[in-house]
């Protein structure tokens, strides 16, 4: 006798580095994105949706090898042996779109896009392999007006979300100035012999907020061992070279022009660096004319951005308020957005230099910040009115009630399970239903319906001291003529909103 074959049952598990979002998170994030979208459209930006999949070679610098391009990106081969990759960010697909449609676009081309991106990287706390970005970019605008505008727009977006002035900063720098400093210490941008050293130094500076001065100094030198014992090789700069770089990133002043004056002294005699300072002065003039002070947008040489393709102004949106983590440690919330000028990205496709600048907001991190500030409504998605099924023979009549409520714009549903009234009430509680509608034998005989206000009941439950008082309380339910179902339900919902 053969053994009975065991049925395979897959384990219900989420892939590593991914996460699910519950209803209230989806709805609250949607409200947040809508506020940002309104700001972006006020500035004249229009939406664009690009494909989640691109040919791997479109991603350019993220293509690690020709045999299997899957480090940093998720890739697979199509049936025609072409490598496809899930987009790593929204900028590379934009560059491809612009190059493909360049002649037909109104230029400068202004677009915003929100959507998921995927990174094949080691996940960690708060670091996911899929996350949402909200980008805005201006292509074919060579002047600093485009960069100043994006900085102003990011400031406006933060304030539209209710983040008070003083709790955020848009911090701006210019990569040309750092390039000038690198030229002064002998690691020029166009020197292949020192390119790896330059990139290592660049990424070290980008970690200043996280590692502090000593940590960056170590990475600019021989290297650094972290708390786990892992060693990161440094840029191996000399002490004199390190001092020059640190003097640049350490410049600080309240007034934007004071920062420019200090940077002028550091890059004196270097044309690349002087060009970057001149561009910062132009941005300052534009921001000042628009009424944006240094308490909203300030110049900070420590902002360099780790990506190689930036060619001019770079910026980050940092939230400056303090938060306490699960371990009880207090720290500033940190960056929720960034961007910069990338005049060479479209050139990969077109063969000619096309100026472009853009910014990106990390949606999940910004959402977490709004939660920390108490700016997220946990009841953003109010549950539906639930019509209970007291008699299966009258389901069609209950469905008619639901339809009347929906036609009046009231979110509602018919209980579709097979349980009794007690279980139906528990279901309504779990759905956070504000009201349940009951039509039992007594109501049917009198052509009435009973509306039970669960939202009010939840509020009163904290105010009533004993069961007798609770049983005698009739404040949470009312019987009304069947014809008044919709009007009374709407009135109760309005009262609940006022009381929240």
> Is the pLDDT score of 255 beyond 90?
yes
Pair (341, 403) in one structural domain: no
For range 279-308, the mean pLDDT? 93
pLDDT averaged over every residue in the chain: 88
Q: What is the phi-psi region of residue 214: left when phi exceeds 0, alpha when psi lies from -120 to 50, beta otherwise?
A: alpha
Pair (368, 390) in one structural domain? no
Q: What is the pLDDT of residue 173?
A: 96
* Any domain includes 10: no
Is 439 a residue whose pLDDT tops 80? yes
Peptide bond into 108 cis (omega under 30): yes
Residues 262 and 166 in one domain: yes
**17 occurs within a structural domain:** no
Q: Pick the residue with more confidence: 450 or 460?
A: 450
pLDDT for 86 beyond 90: yes
pLDDT, tens digit, 9 for 90 and up, residues 354-373: 999 999 999 998 998 898 88
pLDDT at 268: 93
Write down the pLDDT at residue 2. 62
Assign residue 244 the CATH number of its domain: 3.30.930.10
pLDDT confidence tier of residue 63, bands split at 50, 70 and 90: very low
Indicate the pLDDT class of residue 91, thresholds 50, 70 and 90.
very high
Is residue 9 one of the residues assigned to a domain?
A: no
Is 379 contained in some domain? Answer: no
Is residue 378 domain-resident?
no
| Residue finishing a domain among 350, 372, 394 | 372
Mean pLDDT value of segment 316-339? 80
Number of domains in the chain: 2
Q: What is the pLDDT of residue 461?
A: 47
Is 270 inside any structural domain?
Answer: yes
pLDDT exceeds cutoff 80 at 112: yes
Q: Does 325 score more than 80 pLDDT?
A: no
Q: Are residues 161 and 44 in the same domain?
A: yes
Same-domain check for residues 83 and 120: yes
Q: Considering only 98-112, 158-172, 449-463, which range has the smallest mean pLDDT?
A: 449-463
* Structural domain includes residue 335: yes
Query: Range of 63's domain?
Result: 23-372
| Residue 287 and residue 202 share a domain | yes
Let me know whether 397 and 357 are in one domain: no
Residues 451 and 354 in one domain: no
Note the residue count of the chain.
500
**Other beta carbons less than 10 A from residue 179's beta carbon:** 24
pLDDT tens-digit map of 177-201 = 999 999 999 887 777 778 788 888 8
- If asked whether residues 45 and 166 sit together in one domain, one would say yes
pLDDT of residue 471: 47
Q: What is the mean pLDDT of residues 70-98?
A: 89
Per-residue pLDDT reduced to its tens digit, 69-79: 556 889 888 98
- Per-residue model confidence (pLDDT) at position 147: 97
User: What pLDDT does 437 receive?
Assistant: 96
Answer with the one of 372, 405, 436 that is the final residue of a domain.
Answer: 372
423 vs 69, residue with greater confidence: 423
159 with 245, same domain: the answer is yes
Q: What is the CATH number of the domain that holds 427?
A: 3.40.50.800
In percent, how much of the chain has pLDDT > 90? 60
Residues 175 and 90 occupy one common structural domain: yes
Q: Is residue 195 part of a domain?
A: yes
Q: What is the pLDDT of residues 41-54, one digit of tens each?
A: 999 999 999 999 99
Strand partners of residue 341: 357
- The pair phi, psi for residue 319, each rounded to 5°, is -90, 125
With a CB cutoff of 8 Å and minimum separation 6, the contacts of 329 are: none
Residue 70 pLDDT: 56
If asked whether residues 445 and 486 sit together in one domain, one would say yes
């Amino acid at each position: 006798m053969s053994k009975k074959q065991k049925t395979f049952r897959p384990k219900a598990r989420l892939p590593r580095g991914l996460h699910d979002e519950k209803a209230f998170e989806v709805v609250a994030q949607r409200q947040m994105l809508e506020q940002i979208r309104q700001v972006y459209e006020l500035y004249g930006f229009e939406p664009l949706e690009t494909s989640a999949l691109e040919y791997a070679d479109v991603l350019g610098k993220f293509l690690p090898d020709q045999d299997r391009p899957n480090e940093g990106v998720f890739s697979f081969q199509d049936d025609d042996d072409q490598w496809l990759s899930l987009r790593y960010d929204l900028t590379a697909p934009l560059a491809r779109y612009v190059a493909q449609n360049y002649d037909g676009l109104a230029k400068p081309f202004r677009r915003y896009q929100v959507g998921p991106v995927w990174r094949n990287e080691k996940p960690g706390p708060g670091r996911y392999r899929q996350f949402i970005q909200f980008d805005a970019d201006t292509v074919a605008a060579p002047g600093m007006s485009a960069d100043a505008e994006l900085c102003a727009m990011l400031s406006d977006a933060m304030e539209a979300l209710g983040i008070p002035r003083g709790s955020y900063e848009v911090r701006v720098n210019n990569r040309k100035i750092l390039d000038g400093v690198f030229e002064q210490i002998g690691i020029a941008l166009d020197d292949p012999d020192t390119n790896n050293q330059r990139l290592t130094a660049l990424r070290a500076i980008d970690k200043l907020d996280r590692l502090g001065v000593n940590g960056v100094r170590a990475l600019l030198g021989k290297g650094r061992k972290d708390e786990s014992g892992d060693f990161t090789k440094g840029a191996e700069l000399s002490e004199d070279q390190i001092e020059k770089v640190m003097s640049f990133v350490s410049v600080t002043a309240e007034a934007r022009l004071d920062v420019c004056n200090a940077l002028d002294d550091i890059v004196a005699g270097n044309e690349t660096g002087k060009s970057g300072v001149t561009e910062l002065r132009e941005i300052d003039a534009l921001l000042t004319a628009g009424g944006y002070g240094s308490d909203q947008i300030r110049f900070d040489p420590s902002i360099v951005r780790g990506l190689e393709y930036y060619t001019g102004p770079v910026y980050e949106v940092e939230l400056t308020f303090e938060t306490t983590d699960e371990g009880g440690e207090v720290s500033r919330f940190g960056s929720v957005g960034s961007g910069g000028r990338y005049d060479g990205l479209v050139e990969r496709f077109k063969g000619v230099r096309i100026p472009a600048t853009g910014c990106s907001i990390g949606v999940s991190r910004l959402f977490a910040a709004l939660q920390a500030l108490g700016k997220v409504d946990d009841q953003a998605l109010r549950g539906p009115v639930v019509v209970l099924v007291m008699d299966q023979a009258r389901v069609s009549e209950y469905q008619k009630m639901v339809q009347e409520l929906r036609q009046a714009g009231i979110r509602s549903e018919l209980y579709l399970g097979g349980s009794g009234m007690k279980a139906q009430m528990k279901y309504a509680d779990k759905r956070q239903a504000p009201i349940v509608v009951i039509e039992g034998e007594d109501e049917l005989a009198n052509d009435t319906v009973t509306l039970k206000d669960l939202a009010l009941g939840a509020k009163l439950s904290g105010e009533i001291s004993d069961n007798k008082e609770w049983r005698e309380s009739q404040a949470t339910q009312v019987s009304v003529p069947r014809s008044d179902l919709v009007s009374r339900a709407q009135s109760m919902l309005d009262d609940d909103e006022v009381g929240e």
